[in-house]
A and B are shown apart, each in its own frame.
Chain A
Amino acid sequence: MRRIAPLGLRTRLIAAFLLVAAISAGTTAALTYQQARNAILKQTQDTAVSTLRDQIEQQEFRLPLEQQELQRIVIELGKRGKPHPWIVFGEYAGTRVSTNPGTPTSTVITDSLRDKVRNNQYAVFQRVEDQRGNPWLTIGVPAVFEHNGYPEPTGVVFYASVPLSTEKQTVEAMVEAAQQGAVPGLAIAIVPALLAARSVLRPVRDMRRAAQKLGRGRLDTRIEVRGADELAGLARTFNETARALEQSVHELQEAEVRARRFASDVSHELRTPLAGMLAVTEVLDEDAARLDSDTAKALRLVSAETGKLAVLVEDLMEISRFDARAAELNLDDVDIAEAVRKTLERRHWDDDRVVTELPDAVRARLDPRRFDVVLANLVGNALRHGGAPVRVTVRTAPGEDGERLLIDVADSGPGIAPEVLPHIFDRFFKADAARTRSAGSGLGLAITLENVRLHGGTLRAGNLPGGGALFTLDMPLEARV
């Protein structure tokens, strides 16, 4: 079953306000109405009962009462109805008369009223409805006379039926007035409801915007704190949280900057002495042939390691530049096939160890030096860790924003172990844990990835179905700075 969509805060607030207003207006109206109605009815009843009693007491009775006498008294009483004209019925010793000679008995006077008034010595009344649903007030008053100091029932009982149509109209008018008063009351209640909703919704909206800005990295976002209610407290907490977040991010950034600057400084400092050492080892290398074999061996080792150190320092400096975002693209229009061929030639990989599949006349806009580094790293890596033959395939494909340049470098080695795959581009990550000293600096693939990213591309590593690692370079054919 689908749940009903949750209503907005504004709708709920207005609904609650209207509900409260409706309940209070309804309760007040109902209580007032009931009091007023009861007062009106009570007054009518009391007036009617006391009027009938007073009128009877003014009559003179000659017992036993003859029918003509009873008829005369009834007609006399019938003329004096208060507060409304009434119909009077008289009953004596089995004789019944009324102000209407044709109908001596009433249709609205109940048997229970007759029984009560005939067997007791007090006046009674009852509100009833006739067949049409109109309300009537029926009254019964027995006549007593004093005999030997005791009130003695004469056996004469008078009834009156009073239509309550006037009271009914008054009561209906009151209901109508209550209904008509409630609608404008509810309409007025909407105004404070809207104001209350606004006072709640505005801080909530501000806070949502601030949270969105914070999420986009604007850590200096703050909310204006208004008032001293719970929402203001929430805004204050938000501000404190944002400030704490900004501070810790700032500290982290500073620490990272310090670490990078240290690596950069170290490599810079190493570079000058290394240059001198390289020059010396080259000279010594040339003279090695004239030295005895042990010394020559040691000398060549020193020379080779110094060369590796120089490469490492160069790589460190390169990656420091990337970290400092100081790396720049020097874009140029290049024939891809030509560029690939030149890279392989320069590394002396133009024999059958590397097989190429190059399209003709594909021109790309890229940084030739960085492209050379990328390709050389990928092919060199494949030759070193995989195995010949290495297959280099260059192709283009349509992408979302223009043509893409796709270069696959596949080797014929055992492939990359699955547990290694996620870390293949990490710095100083050694795929073979046993071989701590590899030919490379350990930064080759990291630098390659940074270069590809600089061009706005991606580099993926994976395995071919038939064995062998596959690196796929995917970058725009037209790189932009």
Chain B
Amino acid sequence: MTGRRTRARAAAATAVMTGCALLLAGCGIKRTGVIESGHAAAVKVPGGKNAAVLYFVSKDGDRLVPVPFSIGADYTLAPTPLLRLLLNGPIGPASAAGLTTALPKVPDAKTDTVTVSKNSQDKGLTANVPFAVADLSPMALNQLVCTVGASAVPDTRSPVAVHGTDTTLPAADCRTSQR
């Protein structure tokens, strides 16, 4: 009898304490985790819609930054000149903004060997470059894949294989971020 009553009192006390704790815990403005809230801001970039985009490495070296390159609203740049432009490295405003390239410099004599060819088996492309590609950093490889894959064929993103002096790397998709 006494035990039951004691237990009932203990249960009631626990309930009251829990209630008080809940009430106190609910007060004030609590910190939160990172919460998603809608889409990103879509901005207008002059000529960005049709322009070819070159990808260079940001100042921190941890990601690729797109640089639109336009020669006029009515013209589109073919993949091969685009790849040659990329291999020339950042110039003008891109260089001024602190962008760099992870790709090796191609001497002018070998510029002709830089081409982009359509793959025969699938819809992919192959970038031909006059240097060894097996030891290229992931960032450099992505510069090639993203620049060629995003701009070569309108309204599609193509996987791109890289053919160097030593080997041919299998087709890959563009990843601008290293993470």
Contact = CB atoms under 8 A, between A and B. Distances in A.
Interface centre among A45, A59, A66, A94 (most CB of B within 10 A): A94
B14 to A, nearest CB: 14
Interface centre among B16, B26, B37, B53 (most CB of A within 10 A): B37
A127 B37 contact: no
Interface in A405-451: none
A479 interface: no
Contacts of A141: 40-41
B40 A145 contact: no
Given A49-B37, A94-B60, A152 B66 contact: yes
Nearest to A48: B37
Contact of A126 (B28, B35, B41): B35
B1 interface: no
A166 to B, nearest CB: 11
Contacts of B60: 93-94
Interface residues of A, number: 70
B40 A63 contact: no
Contact of B41 (A124, A125, A142, A147): A142
A369 interface: no
B109 interface: no
B65 A93 contact: yes
Interface in B14-59: 16, 19, 22-23, 26-46, 48-49, 51, 53, 56, 58-59
B37 A142 contact: no
B34 A66 contact: no
Interface centre among B27, B53, B67, B94 (most CB of A within 10 A): B27
Interface string A139-166: 1011111111111111110100000100
A183 interface: no
B120 interface: no
Contacts of B51: 147
A60 interface: yes
Contacts of B46: 60, 62
B154 interface: yes
A145 B59 CA distance: 21
Contacts of A467: none
Contacts of A125: 34-35, 37
A129 to B, nearest CB: 6
B156 interface: yes
B63 to A, nearest CB: 7
A53 B23 contact: no
B97 A66 contact: yes
A122 B36 contact: yes
A380 interface: no
Contacts of A67: 97
A332 interface: no
Interface string B95-127: 011110000000000000000000000000000
B31 A119 contact: no
B43 A126 contact: no
Given A64-B65, A153-B176, A144 B43 contact: yes
A59 B43 contact: yes
A92 B96 CA distance: 13
Given A30-B26, A148-B151, A143 B41 contact: yes
Nearest to A168: B29
B90 to A, nearest CB: 8
A40 B16 CA distance: 29
Contacts of B68: 63, 147
B93 interface: yes
B40 A123 contact: yes
A373 to B, nearest CB: 60
Nearest to B60: A94
A171 interface: yes
* The 7 nearest A-B residue pairs measured at CB: A94-B59, A56-B41, A93-B58, A94-B60, A155-B65, A64-B97, A135-B29
Given A45-B37, A127-B29, A142-B40, 20 more contacts: A23-B19, A41-B29, A49-B37, A53-B38, A61-B44, A63-B66, A64-B56, A66-B93, A92-B97, A93-B60, A95-B97, A119-B177, A122-B39, A124-B37, A145-B42, A146-B49, A147-B68, A152-B53, A154-B45, A168-B29
18 contacts: A26-B23, A62-B93, A63-B45, A66-B97, A92-B65, A93-B59, A93-B97, A94-B58, A122-B38, A123-B41, A125-B37, A126-B35, A143-B43, A144-B40, A147-B68, A152-B150, A155-B65, A167-B29
